[in-house]
Amino acid sequence: MSSENVRFTDFKSDKQPTWCPGCGDFGTMNGMMKALAETGNTPDDTFVVAGIGCSGKIGTYMRSYALHGVHGRALPVGTGAKLANPDLEVMVAGGDGDGYSIGVGHFIHAVRRNVDITYVVMDNRIYGLTKGQASPTSRPDFETSTTPEGPKQPPVNPLALAMSAGASFIAQSFSSDALRHTEIVKEAIEHDGFSLVNTFSPCVTFNDVDTYDYFRDSLVDLSEEDDYDRHNYDQAKDAILDADKEYMGVLYQDENSTPYHEAHGVHENMAEIPDGAPDGATDLVREFY
Amino acid sequence: MHDDLNWAIGGEAGDGIASTGKIFAQALSRAGRHVFTSKDFASRIRGGYTAYKIRTSVDEVQSVVDRLDVLIALTERTVDENLDELHEESVIIFDGDRTEFSDFEAPADTVGLDIPLKSLAEDAGGAIMRNIVALGAVCAVTDFPIENLDESLEKRFGSKGESIVENNKQAARLGYEYVNDEYADVENPYELETTDNDYVLLNGDEAIGMGAIAAGCRFYAGYPITPATDVMEYLTGRIEQFGGHVVQAEDELSAINMALGAARAGARAMTATSGPGIDLMSETFGLVATSETPLVITNVMRSGPSTGMPTKQEQGDLNMMLYGGHGEVPRFVLAPTSVAECFHKTVEAFNLAEKYQLPVYLTADLSMAVTERTYEPDEFDMDEVEIDRGKLVDEDEISAWQNEKDQFKAHAVTADGISPRAVPGTEGGVHMSTGLEHDELGRRTEDTDVRVEQVDKRNRKVETAEEREDFDYREFGDADADSLVISWGSNEGTIVEALDYLDDLDVRVLSVPYIFPRPDLTDDVQAADDVVVIEANATGQFANVVEHDTLERVDRINKYDGVDFKADELADEIKQTLEA
């Protein structure tokens, strides 16, 4: 399939999603598929990795090469795949539990490595698949079955974590704003390095606080802020640490960062190997004289 | 009895023990002598004692023995630690100028050579070379031509400049001359013959690393852990020359998932760790197996459980590799039985992983990982390396494996249990793989029939492998003997050497490198009058497997004090067990 003829529906599988009607994940996934198609990728050259949770099901509903892995470890899988074959478009999907709780260690190090992959996190501030427990991004007073009085601890700020780890691309989107979400994911794909897109993806079943209405009313779209410069580190820092407002758009981008494959000279498709030991292997034996 | 020499240097960690030992081992190897080294951590006293031991002979050597002939003692404690192994012809080299040796007297019956190592080293250019002075003295004591040291010194210090190399050569000569001048009257029982043979000298971790590159491994992810780190350090800087890459992951969870990702993308990938790392990798191990991803997981075992004795020998992880992880899913377990076999079995592990699309545990242990051993270079003949990628399909073969909707059946149910494998980038091969139970397309299912079909299909790969592969044991000793000795992994060399100490007791030895699938030992066990299984663990994990397979009880020799088996000691135990 040549990339000119690819439409976003080519990235859609024939499986009907089992997400709850109205789930934000529908919009998040649609934007991902559109962005992949509009950036010239094909299902044959795309590798989607997901972990566990509602977000983890995305590989089933999309059509591409994919791995649905264990909880919290999608980023290392994506990292390995991209390094093994740099020609692949690698997109990693996760949720706030998968990425910022069980997988937060990998998140920090994936950001540091700056491998050229795109990480879309469907952040609904709740554990949906296990029916409504607190997530690392839940509000301190958000009452759930396991936190009857709320977690009583500050939520993780994923954008700040990314920034502190030296991220080269930090963005935030909203699943229901299809146009902007798609644009932002496209920019993330086109960024040469690790890209974080934290996507507010409301859970209509278990979260009655962080709702469509809440995000629609409160999110500030940075594309409409004329004096916002995504390349300005200090401005980005202020926006990311702003306790009063939440932003949508590309908060920070360093287009001059050195992606992993350049820093380490990893350019070859490692899947291609000779039928026997590689040329020069005998030199390895000679070293032991 | 043996025309061999057992040599050691011992002192405090940080005394340059390992590098001095390596220099001498290389010199011996270059002089055409066989070498078998061990890092000696045996310790009755707590603290930083460490020693490097070399056994060398013109004949092949593959074990340590309970005898020490020449000892460089950098501390008095080194002598105490080795008292049991010293004998009346043992030579102890020490520096009487050191305060702690001021009242030192060599144990009765041994020969103590008091040599001013530090002051001679200073004469040569610096006190740091005192170990090299001692090596020069060793050359004199063992009648080993000192020129043989020069090449090793060049290899070790060449990068630091010509003058450093020359200073070291001079330091060695000062030690050599000191012995010849001051101890000319001491009778010298040792003479290290040299030959024209060319040997290579390497340890098990290096052999695994070299085998991985030979086998086409291009991606390695790992997290440093003793005693597996040497695999990663070997690959770093070398695998890149073959288009590969090493990633130091943030933890073992990440390491195995990175390797899994690379393998899904089509690379031959590996991670290496030790027991605690295998614990952490267990969840993903199940995913690798269920998603039918070819992956080599190297486990260089050390003493457990938990943090255990991290720098000590043990073969305690066999149960974990055979049975670890929730649910049931096939995996292969290979346990190379010597340093050279570490190379060969690594190559085989990569082929098996791709042919049967499953995780392969390749297990060595601390003893074999750090042991350096000499071989003929032909042992590692790269022209003999064969690569078999199994049912990896390309664009042209895809259509045969698509359903009526042109969807690729990555988990097609086949007669041999093996499905076609398409890697990303292959047109028409798009599919998802998952840790969920899945249908032929890789999609989640809880359909009872499909579940059973997929479980059976995965298990069928084992039956197929048993039919197609030669999972045999290695045999030594007397084929007609009534007594049978069985071992797995690194004990082989010690057992083979122990045969020389068994006097008139004849035994047949089976050394098993395939733990799963494994050779059927039923006939061998039933034909023998007595059977003993030797392994470095407390509960006899392999002995249990043998009993399970053969429905016969076996005797056991278990060692779990963290110290390597020694050939002469082991021979005594075999005699006691079989004659009991």
A288 and B200: CB-CB below 8 Å? yes
Q: Final residue of a domain: which of B345, B362, B384?
A: B384
User: Does B560 have pLDDT greater than 90?
Assistant: yes
Q: Does A269 touch chain B (CB under 8 A)?
A: yes
B166 with B225, same domain: the answer is no
B382 and A281: CB-CB below 8 Å? yes
Domain at B487, CATH number: 3.40.50.920
Residue B458 placed within a domain: yes
- CB count in 10 Å sphere of residue A192: 16
B511 with B438, same domain: the answer is no
B446 with B363, same domain: the answer is no
- What pLDDT, in 10s, does the model give residues A50-90? 999 999 999 999 999 999 999 999 999 999 999 999 999 99
Count of domains observed in chain B? 4
> B286, B327 in Cβ contact below 8 A?
yes
Instruction: Report d(CA B47, CA B65) in Å as an integer.
Output: 24
Domain span including residue B426? 395-468
* Single-letter amino acid, residue B432: M
pLDDT at residue B47, as a whole number: 61
Which one of B244, B385, B425 has the shortest CB-CB distance to A44?
Answer: B425
Domain span including residue A232? 3-286
Domain at A108, CATH number: 3.40.50.970
Which one of A43, A70, A278 has the shortest CB-CB distance to B283?
Answer: A70
Measured between CA atoms, the residue of chain B closest to residue A68 is: B434
Q: Does A1 touch chain B (CB under 8 A)?
A: yes
B573 with B534, same domain: the answer is yes
Which residues from A are below 8 Å from B426, CB to CB?
44
A49 and B261: CB-CB below 8 Å? yes
Measured between CA atoms, the residue of chain B closest to residue A280 is: B242
Which residues from A are below 8 Å from B257, CB to CB?
69-70, 73, 76-77, 80, 106
- Count of A–B CB contacts within 8 Å? 216
- What pLDDT, in 10s, does the model give residues A159-211? 999 999 999 999 999 999 999 999 999 999 999 999 999 999 999 999 999 99
Q: Residue window 36-95, chain A: list those with CB within 8 Å of chain B.
A: 43-49, 59-60, 63-70, 73, 76-85, 87-88
> A240, A163 in Cβ contact below 8 A?
yes
Positive or negative torsion for Cα B548, B553, B554, B558: positive
Q: Final residue of a domain: which of B446, B468, B490?
A: B468
Residue whose pair of structure tokens reads 């192994």 in the numeric block: B85
Kindly report the nearest CA distance between residue B47 and chain A, in angstroms: 33
B245 with B342, same domain: the answer is yes
Q: Which two tokens stand for residue B66?
A: 């309970």
Q: Residue window 95-114, chain A: list those with CB within 8 Å of chain B.
A: 105-106, 108-109
Q: Does A6 touch chain B (CB under 8 A)?
A: no
| B109 vs B419, residue with greater confidence | B419
pLDDT grade for B41, boundaries at 50, 70 and 90: low
Q: How many CA atoms lie within 13 A of B162 on its CB side?
A: 0
The partner residues of B483 in beta bridges, in order of sequence, read B507, B530
pLDDT grade for B43, boundaries at 50, 70 and 90: very low
Kindly report the average pLDDT of chain A as a whole number: 96
pLDDT at residue A3, as a whole number: 64
Residue B191 placed within a domain: no
- Exposed, middle or buried: residue A25 (CB in 10 Å: 0-12, 13-18, 19+)? buried
A280 and B242: CB-CB below 8 Å? yes
What ipTM was predicted for this assembly? Answer: 0.98
The partner residues of B533 in beta bridges, in order of sequence, read B486, B556
Q: State the DSSP H helix or E strand holding residue B487, giving kind and residue range, or none if neither.
A: strand B483-488
Instruction: Report d(CA B28, CA B415) in Å as an integer.
Output: 54
- Exposed, middle or buried: residue A147 (CB in 10 Å: 0-12, 13-18, 19+)? middle
Residue B251 placed within a domain: yes
Q: State the DSSP H helix or E strand holding residue B93, giving kind and residue range, or none if neither.
A: strand B86-94
Peptide bond into B305 cis (omega under 30): yes
Instruction: Report d(CA B410, CA A1) in Å as an integer.
Output: 20
Instruction: Report d(CA A159, CA A245) in Å as an integer.
Output: 13
Nearest to B111 by CA among B79, B139, B143, B136: B79
B27 with B142, same domain: the answer is yes
> B519, B494 in Cβ contact below 8 A?
no
B59 with B127, same domain: the answer is yes
Q: Final residue of a domain: which of B359, B384, B409?
A: B384
Kindly report the nearest CA distance between residue B112 and chain A, in angstroms: 33
Instruction: Report d(CA B80, CA A91) in Å as an integer.
Output: 61
B464 with B481, same domain: the answer is no
The partner residues of B297 in beta bridges, in order of sequence, read B271, B361
Residue B188 placed within a domain: no
> B61, B34 in Cβ contact below 8 A?
yes
Residue B195 placed within a domain: no
- What pLDDT, in 10s, does the model give residues A107-141? 999 999 999 999 999 999 999 999 999 999 999 99
Q: Does A259 touch chain B (CB under 8 A)?
A: no
User: Does B519 have pLDDT greater than 70?
Assistant: yes
B455 with B564, same domain: the answer is no
User: Does B46 have pLDDT greater than 80?
Assistant: no
Measured between CA atoms, the residue of chain B closest to residue A266 is: B245
| pTM assigned to the model | 0.96
Q: Which two tokens stand for residue B542?
A: 């392999």
Q: State the DSSP H helix or E strand holding residue B26, giving kind and residue range, or none if neither.
A: helix B17-30
B377 with B401, same domain: the answer is no
pLDDT at residue B32, as a whole number: 97
Q: Which two tokens stand for residue A264?
A: 């380490």
DSSP state of B106: P
Count of domains observed in chain A? 1
B434 and A59: CB-CB below 8 Å? yes
Q: Which two tokens stand for residue B28?
A: 């011996």
pLDDT grade for B548, boundaries at 50, 70 and 90: very high
Kindly report the average pLDDT of chain B as a whole number: 95
Q: How many CA atoms lie within 13 A of B237 on its CB side?
A: 5
Q: Which two tokens stand for residue A155?
A: 């939520």
Instruction: Report d(CA B441, CA B460) in Å as an integer.
Output: 18
Q: State the DSSP H helix or E strand holding residue B542, giving kind and residue range, or none if neither.
A: helix B541-550
What phi and psi, each to the nearest 5 degrees, are found at residue A160?
Answer: -70, -40
Residue B139 placed within a domain: yes
B505 with B405, same domain: the answer is no
B245 with B309, same domain: the answer is yes
